[in-house]
């Protein structure tokens, strides 16, 4: 029997996740705890139209002992989907989460693309998917909502010259919601995932709004560069995050090689361990690494470590590379990019030019070798195609990041699995909201929902009873 809690027929606040992807945002909310240690939020419906994303959502819900049937595979532009969502939620949710696909707002690629592609980007139908989100806010009247997207939303405009961020905020306000913050001048907030313990400098735009008539609270920052902000820890570094994972070397790809060359490369590959997709967990390496890192690293490793001692390590496999790429990755100094090779003053770097086979006109930093002692740069969906911007800092490995490494960089635990095949997994991980950042947002909303003096109902909203 479900006990009544502050006016709710549930044990915790009810969450609807729209454009859910693989569920990074709602998973972060699930991690929020009450003072007594109970879950503060429960996912009652997650809506996503992509097959592999839905399979990933269901599998990980099952692994956490949650109901996988809350996942609804459906297109939000279909009016029937709205009706089913309302029915599944019994007409009542406390928080709506989500953000439409970010590709139509992304500043990576389209803005520097040929004119034909730029024109298509300017007229992308996905720009208007936020209206489906707003319609469900109107129907369900949650106490809170969270809307997330890339920074490109701050600058892209419609045909009338209106910024899309302003259109979204206006629509949300017209539904009766407060978008202001108590200590911030805008109706949106830019959050850097690294400020919340994620080993990645990833900035995204969030609109947090409520219909309680109170100002919103920004999530509490827990980390800063070097711990320079009082009361915060230094950023979690790449070494903290992935330094324990087993050593791998990429296999050399066979494309374009003669039969004689293929025989030679096959012999070379036989000597290179590229990893396997499912192996026993590397507990000995994990504990040895945890004992070496600083407090922020230990906290991160506690977060991502599997819950079970018989866990398996999945997705830690080096992708294949051309021989020239492997040679390049070995010789590039950590922290350098292809821009340094082509436009820098170091003659030793200039000698690496012949190893780069791609056209550098579009992206001068198409190759980037990361540093151990810094967070990673923003991971994104393009990793599905190549990982050249994410070269491992260890020259002896001379490869790009694995699926598991990218998952850790996004703060997904090691027992979180991804149901898409092969390199397609990178796309879903790159598009997700990091769970550690999502948890911080959930905690800030929970504090407001639990504040004294809020009435139980306001214009039909589901609010806590006091």
CA distance 419 to 31: 22
293 backbone φψ class: left, alpha, beta (φ>0; ψ -120 to 50): beta
Model confidence at 252, in pLDDT bands (50, 70, 90)? Answer: very high
Residue 312: beta bridge partners?
Answer: 280
pLDDT of residue 402: 98
Other Cβ atoms within 10 Å of 119 Cβ, number: 11
Q: Name the catalytic one among 102, 175, 376, 462.
A: 102
Would you list the domain boundaries of the chain?
13-234+435-462, 238-429
Question: For 457, phi and psi rounded to 5 degrees?
Answer: -135, 145
b/e sequence 402-413, b meaning 16+ C-beta within 10 Å: bbbbbbbbbbbb
% of the chain surpassing 90 pLDDT: 80
Is the Cβ–Cβ distance between 273 and 409 less than 8 Å? Answer: no
Quick one: pLDDT at residue 357? 79
CA distance 199 to 212: 34
pLDDT, one tens digit per residue, over 212-244 is: 999 999 999 999 999 999 999 999 999 999 999
The residues, ordered by sequence, that sit 6+ positions from 125 with a Cβ below 8 Å of its Cβ are: 104
Question: What's the pLDDT score for residue 119?
Answer: 52
What's the DSSP call for residue 354? G
At 11 the pLDDT is: 64
Dist. CA 331–CA 309, nearest whole Å:
39
Q: Which of 28, 44, 37, 32 is nearest to 413 (CA)?
A: 28
For the 238-429 domain, the top CATH level (class) is alpha beta
How many angstroms separate the CA atoms of 315 and 339, rounded? 30
pLDDT at 123: 55
Contact at 8 Å (CB) between 403 and 316?
yes
Distance between CA 372 and CA 294 in Å, rounded? 14
* Distance in angstroms (rounded) separating the CA atoms of residues 350 and 344: 8
Mean pLDDT of 205-209: 97
Structure token pair of residue 6? 């502050």
Distance between CA 337 and CA 377 in Å, rounded? 12
Model confidence at 257, pLDDT cuts 50, 70, 90, reads confident
Residue 440 contacts by C-beta under 8 Å, 6 or more apart in sequence?
28, 196, 219, 220, 222
The pLDDT of residue 461 is above 80: no
pLDDT of residue 8: 36
Name the average pLDDT for the chain: 90
β-sheet bridge partners, residue 280? 312
State how far Cα 366 lies from the chain centre: 21
pLDDT at 428 over 60: yes
The per-residue pLDDT for range 63-93, each reduced to its tens digit, is: 999 999 999 999 999 999 999 999 999 999 9
Tell me if residue 462 is catalytic. Answer: no
- Give residues with Cβ within 8 angstroms of 306, minimum separation 6: 281, 413, 414, 415
Half-sphere exposure of 103 (CA within 13 A, CB side): 14
pLDDT band at 100 (very low <50, low <70, confident <90, very high): confident
Task: Point out which residues pair with 205 in neighbouring strands.
Answer: 149, 190
Is residue 279 pLDDT above 60, yes or no? yes
Neighbours of 222 (CB within 10 A): 16
Tens-digit pLDDT profile for residues 305-363? 999 999 999 999 999 999 999 999 999 999 999 999 988 888 889 999 999 977 666 55
pLDDT digits (tens, 9 = 90+) for 393-422: 999 999 999 999 999 999 999 999 999 999
pLDDT value at residue 64: 96
Nearest residue to 405 (alpha-carbon basis) of 200, 130, 201, 258: 200
Q: What's the mean pLDDT in 248-263? A: 92
Residues 163, 155 contacting (CB under 8 angstroms): yes
> What pLDDT score was predicted for residue 125?
53
Mean pLDDT on 182-207: 96
| 389 to 252, 337, 427: CA distances (angstroms) | 18, 8, 15
Q: Is pLDDT of 465 > 50?
A: no
- Topology of the domain comprising 13-234+435-462: Rossmann fold (3.40.50)
| pLDDT for the residue 453 | 72
Dist. CA 448–CA 212, nearest whole Å:
9
How far is C-alpha 118 from the geometric centre of its chain's CA atoms? 26
């Amino acid at each position: 029997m479900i006990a009544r809690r502050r006016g709710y027929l549930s044990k915790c606040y009810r969450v609807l996740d729209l454009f859910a992807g693989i569920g990074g945002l709602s998973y972060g909310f699930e991690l929020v705890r009450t003072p007594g240690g109970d879950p503060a939020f429960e996912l009652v419906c997650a809506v996503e139209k992509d097959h592999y994303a839905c399979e990933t959502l269901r599998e990980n819900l099952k692994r956490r002992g949650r109901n996988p049937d809350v996942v609804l595979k459906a297109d939000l532009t279909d009016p029937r989907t709205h009706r089913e969502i309302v029915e599944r939620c019994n007409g009542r949710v406390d928080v709506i989460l989500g953000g439409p696909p970010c590709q139509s707002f992304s500043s990576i690629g389209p803005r520097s693309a040929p004119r034909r592609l730029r024109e298509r980007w300017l007229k992308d139908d996905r720009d208007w998917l936020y209206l489906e989100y707003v319609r469900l806010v109107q129907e369900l009247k949650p106490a809170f909502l969270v809307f997330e997207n890339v920074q490109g939303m701050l600058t892209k405009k419609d045909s009338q010259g209106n910024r899309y961020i302003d259109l979204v905020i206006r629509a949300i306000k017209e539904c009766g919601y407060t978008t202001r913050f108590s200590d911030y001048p805008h109706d949106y907030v830019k959050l850097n995932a690294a400020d919340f313990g994620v080993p990645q400098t990833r900035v995204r735009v969030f609109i947090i709004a409520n219909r309680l008539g109170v100002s919103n609270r920004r999530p509490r920052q827990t980390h800063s560069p070097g711990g320079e902000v009082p009361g915060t820890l230094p950023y979690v570094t790449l070494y903290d995050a992935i330094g324990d994972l087993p050593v791998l070397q990429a296999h050399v790809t066979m494309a374009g090689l003669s039969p004689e060359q293929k025989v030679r490369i096959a012999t070379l590959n036989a000597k290179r361990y590229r990893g396997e997709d499912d192996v026993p967990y590397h507990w000995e390496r994990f504990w040895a690494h945890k004992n070496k890192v600083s407090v922020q690293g230990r906290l991160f490793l506690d977060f991502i470590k599997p819950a079970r001692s018989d866990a398996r390590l999945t997705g830690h496999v080096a992708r294949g590379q051309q021989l020239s790429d492997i040679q390049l990755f070995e010789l590039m100094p950590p922290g350098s990019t292809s821009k340094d090779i082509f436009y820098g003053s170091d003659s030793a770097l200039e000698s690496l030019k012949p190893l780069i086979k791609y056209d550098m006109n579009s992206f001068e930093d198409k190759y980037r070798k990361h540093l151990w002692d810094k967070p990673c740069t923003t991971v994104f969906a393009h990793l599905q195609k190549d990982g050249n911007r994410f070269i491992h800092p260890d020259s002896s490995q001379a490869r790009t990041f694995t699926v598991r490494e990218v998952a850790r960089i996004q703060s997904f635990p090691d027992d979180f699995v991804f149901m898409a095949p092969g390199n397609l997994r990178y796309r879903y991980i790159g598009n997700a909201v990091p769970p550690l950042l999502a948890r911080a947002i959930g905690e800030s909303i929970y504090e407001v929902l639990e504040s004294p003096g809020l009435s139980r109902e306001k214009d039909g909203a589901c609010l806590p009873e006091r």
